[in-house]
Amino acid sequence: MKLSDAIDQFLQHLELEKNRSLHTIESYAHYLNRFAGWAEDQGVVNLNQVTEEQILRFRQFLNRIEIKGGETLSKSTQNYHLIALRSWLKFLNRKGYEAIPADRIDLPKPDARQIQFLEHEELMRLLNQPKAASLKGKRDMAILYVLFSTGLRVSEIASLNREQVNLERGEFAVIGKGRKERIVFLSEEAIRFIQEYLAARRDEDSALFIRMKDPVPEAEQELDRTLRLSDRSIERIVKAHAKTAGITKTVTPHTLRHSFATDLLMNGANIRDVQAMLGHSSLNTTQIYTHVTNQHLKDVHAAFHGRKKEVESEVSSKKQEVDQNEENIESEILPN
């Protein structure tokens, strides 16, 4: 069997039997097609020609490949390729095709994951950056507040439709990774900004968030069926407002998702509740935020632990100072 045919079968399996999202399937296709392209350059075109040694050489290729700016692929990105390969081989092994066992591929230790989130002052500057006088400003304000209020992924907010969002209840269902449904909640500010934005719109497009553009010529309307903002457009909107707000960090929609999670945990939310609101399948995924909040708890501990002893010490010191002052006064007034 050719590599390309084996990959196509696996992608069909993900879509039809595993019910994976289009985004997930595209990611698997990207990683597996990169392997197939590299393998074909090595003269390997059939599945039974793939060996453990070639997998090892492909790992070396991933480790050395240069992307823009001369940087190399991160360990996590390298791992995504290997995870895709393992899933593909597991599928082929179950189907009885001649392929190396999936468990022969070991995953290297990933880079320590850094969680980028906004401090309260940075968050306020970003949220208040758009100028709500214009329709574009109202839209951008609503986007920022919805992202922080719900912790939605960029693909999830881009796919929202008007009728999907219940503004009276301040909540709505969203389909996340793995086609899993969860309920997310809107803050009062998010509800207000969405209402103001929708009240100012004059189009009939079903998408909640649309791009601002001139009317489409009638001859092109059939080709331009929706004004829906793309994932990339929303990323550009967030980055542009962060830059204008003077925030030096790289800010993306996912930064607001991280900020949403850390804000909940720092204010006492249960980690399992945060897991549910983020739509994480595993609690281990949500645990990454505890590394951030642990520092917050450490600061709280340092500020308040042992305060009783400190206060007692301060009171004792003040008492000694008062007693000494009284003795000094007495020595000045009383005769020798």
Q: Catalytic positions, please? A: 153, 177, 254, 257, 280, 289
CA dist 38 and 60 (Å) reads 12
What is the torsion angle, in degrees rounded to the nearest 10, for the CA atoms of residue 68, residue 70, residue 76 and residue 82? 90
Instruction: Give per-residue burial for 48-74: e unless 16+ CB within 10 Å, then b.
Output: eebeeebbeebbebbeeeeeeeeeebe
Neighbours of 19 (CB within 10 A): 10
CA dist 126 and 250 (Å) reads 12
Count the helix, strand and coil residues of the chain and give each as a percent rounded to the nearest 5: 65, 5, 30
Which residues pair with residue 2 across a beta bridge? 46
Tell me the one-letter amino acid at 97: Y
CA dist 53 and 236 (Å) reads 42
CA atoms within 13 A on the CB side of 293: 20
Which residues pair with residue 46 across a beta bridge? 2
Question: Is residue 230 classed as helix, strand or coil in its secondary structure?
Answer: coil
Q: For residues 92 and 223, is the Cβ–Cβ distance under 8 A?
A: no
CA dist 72 and 63 (Å) reads 7
Which residue is it, tokens 């001139």? 214
